[in-house]
Amino acid sequence: MVGNSNINLDTMKLIKSVLVLFLLIVVMWRCTSEQEPIPDDCIANGVLLVLDTKTDANCGQTDGSIIVNATGAGGSFTYTVNGQSAAANGTFQNLAAGSYVIVATEAGGCTAELTVEVLNADGVNATIETSVSNCDSPTGSITVSATGGATPYEYKLDDGSFGSSATFNTVAAGDYAVTVKDASGCEVTLQAQVKSDVTFSQVNDIIQTNCAVSGCHAGNQAPDFRVSTNITGSANRIQIRTGAKTMPPPSSGRSLTDAEIAKIACWVADGAAGS
């Protein structure tokens, strides 16, 4: 009997130890599903992108060019132009008149953006103004002001048809290509971004209420979302995780509404600006 009592006592101690270990694992696991490395400090060691030279294009020709220089962050660079991949250098040739959004990305992930306008040297040129759209409904607008070339002008949005109106209404938040054509057939295409009405303050409130809480991103787990630059630096990751509904993790007992998830997505699409 004494031997059996000792065995039972040892078994109970083992079970108790296992339970304690299990509880520790549960507590630690609550937010490990959304742990991620602290983002590189691209502000202190970021990329600087500047225009070196630009050559305007002749009407209807693709003889414009842009040369940019990217420095900083201590790495090699790759480039995109209007969202399309480009050669790993800062020289872009065979360009028609229009606006070009150039993004330089360093090997470590730090980026810089520059918009360059290649003009029609002998034809129509234009500028654009935009107004914000509601995040959940298309209420934005794009207004075009054209000069030069031969009047009257015609305008189109993306792959739509040309028309006489220089204003496009009920436009959703997003990126657009706006083309202006003059009476001689000379064209210029500009890039327009319609932003949403979501502010960083709104996104920050969502994060502070649901993510920068005890046991999660409140200083005891990286990144610390009480710091606004950590939120902006993790914007894409936040969008992916909130969209998949893994942030905050279900084990935390917290969740975001569909409207809150949409606000975060709109904020990221706008460029994830800080306060």
Domains of the chain in sequence order: 48-118 (2.60.40.1080), 125-194 (2.60.40), 198-269 (no CATH)
Only one residue has tokens 């918009």, namely 115
Could you tell me the pLDDT band of residue 221, with boundaries at 50, 70 and 90? confident
Question: What are phi and psi for residue 131, nearest 5 degrees?
Answer: -120, 155
Question: What are phi and psi for residue 210, nearest 5 degrees?
Answer: -115, -20
Q: Averaged over 50-74, what is the pLDDT?
A: 91
Per-residue HEC secondary structure of 110-152 comes to CEEEEEEEECECCCCEEEEEEECECCCCCCEEEEEEEECCCCC
Tell me the per-residue pLDDT of 92-114, one tens digit each, with 9 for 90 and over: 999 999 999 999 988 878 888 99
Q: How far, CA to CA in Å, does 193 sit from each of 6, 129, 178?
A: 75, 9, 10
Higher pLDDT, 266 or 27: 266
Burial class of residue 156 in the structure, from the number of CB atoms within 10 Å of its CB (0-12 exposed, 13-18 middle, 19+ buried): middle
Could you tell me the pLDDT band of residue 150, with boundaries at 50, 70 and 90? very high
Tell me the per-residue pLDDT of 152-199, one tens digit each, with 9 for 90 and over: 999 999 999 999 999 999 999 999 999 999 999 999 999 999 999 999
At residue 72, does pLDDT exceed 90? no
Q: What local confidence, expressed as pLDDT, does residue 4 receive?
A: 52
Cβ 175 vs Cβ 193: under 8 Å: yes
Cβ 71 vs Cβ 37: under 8 Å: no
223 preceded by a cis bond (ω within 30 of 0): yes
Q: Which helix (H) or strand (E) holds 265?
A: helix 258-269
**Predicted model pTM:** 0.72
Side-chain-side CA neighbours of 161 within 13 Å: the count stands at 2
Q: Using DSSP, state whether 87 is helix, strand or coil.
A: coil
- Contacts for 159 with CB less than 8 Å, ≥ 6 apart: none
